[in-house]
Amino acid sequence: MSDKITAPKLRAMKQAGQQIVSITAYDSTFGSLADLAGADFILVGDSVANTMLGFESTVPVTLEQMIHHTRAVRAGVKRALLVADLPFGSYQASIEQAVTNAVLLMKAGAEAVKLEGSYPETISALTLAGIPTMGHLGMTPQSIHRFGGHKVQGRGSGADRILAAAEELDKAGAIGIVLELIPTDLAKRVTESVTAPTIGIGAGPHCSGQIQVLHDVLGLSPVGFRHAKPFMNGRSLILEALGEYSRQVRCGEFPTSEHSF
Ligand code: KIV
């Protein structure tokens, strides 16, 4: 792996037929590991709400929290493009609000931002301000209360709405469009209709790339999701290590002279 990934490179990767690999990270340790493993872009996702902060949805996450985590991930990432989520309530009220808040994420070290929903004018304005912006359509978690749960979107008449929204975001200059929990054939249609790369999560194999939540890939989440695949059993490995540490302290096996001065 070489060459710093930049926002324009994502579109070029789609044109070259190269699959884009992305994963979330919330701190410098895992940002650095994801970078070393070759992720093309790393998302400081507002899923930090569920994975790190113990919230039930992404709705409570604040801009200050996103800035804090963006700074931390920045410290660990060198090659990958660093994208940060604009959290719920930080961009919907006006274009001015979106630009002001996106600037704060960029000053914290992001190289692009992502926002959820159909906001083409906002994406145009952010792009004009020098802020590469990614869209996010389908099951957009910040709208969980409107959807009534994590439900697949874009079935039936909803498909044309998602396709039209994607075309608008594309024209507005989106550097990519995350497609979350939509049928495989719709994701394929969107991918073929836009020049921006589509990044799927629960959207099938025909997207220009895939994104996953770090904790799902590492098997740290207590529950499994159909759209995710654990690539290791992190939860039991960590529990085993922490249990062994406790056992050794309690029975005097640790520390030994090897760990003492
Ligand atoms: O915050 C997040 O984790 C996301 C997903 C699309 C990966 O936005």
Q: Average pLDDT, stretch 162-175? A: 98
Query: pLDDT tens for residues 46-103?
Result: 999 999 999 999 999 999 999 999 999 999 999 999 999 999 999 999 999 999 999 9
| Confidence at residue 2, expressed as pLDDT on a 0 to 100 scale | 52
Å from CA of 134 to ligand 1 middle: 12
Query: pLDDT tier at 1 (50, 70, 90 boundaries)?
Result: very low
Q: Which of 57, 33, 47, 38 is nearest to 215 (CA)?
A: 47
Instruction: For residue 251, give every residue at least 6 positions away whose Cβ sits within 8 Å of its Cβ, in sequence order, or none.
Output: none
Task: Count the residues in the chain.
Answer: 261
| 192 tagged catalytic | no
Query: pTM of the entire structure?
Result: 0.97
Identify whether the C-beta of residue 45 lies closer than 8 Å to the C-beta of residue 216.
no
Q: Which of 47, 25, 36, 52 is nearest to 1 (CA)?
A: 36
Q: With 50 as the cut, is the pLDDT of residue 10 above it? A: yes
∠137-86-178 over CA atoms, to 5°? 25
Q: With 60 as the cut, is the pLDDT of residue 40 above it? A: yes
Query: pLDDT tens for residues 207-226?
Result: 999 999 999 999 998 888 99
Mean pLDDT taken over the chain: 97
Q: With 80 as the cut, is the pLDDT of residue 22 above it? A: yes
- Ligand 1 binding pocket mutation candidate from 178, 179, 214 (most atoms within 8 A of CB): 178
Instruction: For residue 86, give every residue at least 6 positions away whose Cβ sits within 8 Å of its Cβ, in sequence order, or none.
Output: 63, 66, 98, 101, 102, 105, 113, 114, 115
Give the separation between CA 107 and CA 259, rounded to whole angstroms.
42
Please report, rounded to a whole number, the percentage of residues in the chain having pLDDT higher than 90.
Answer: 97
**CB-ligand 1 contact for 23 (6 Å cutoff):** no
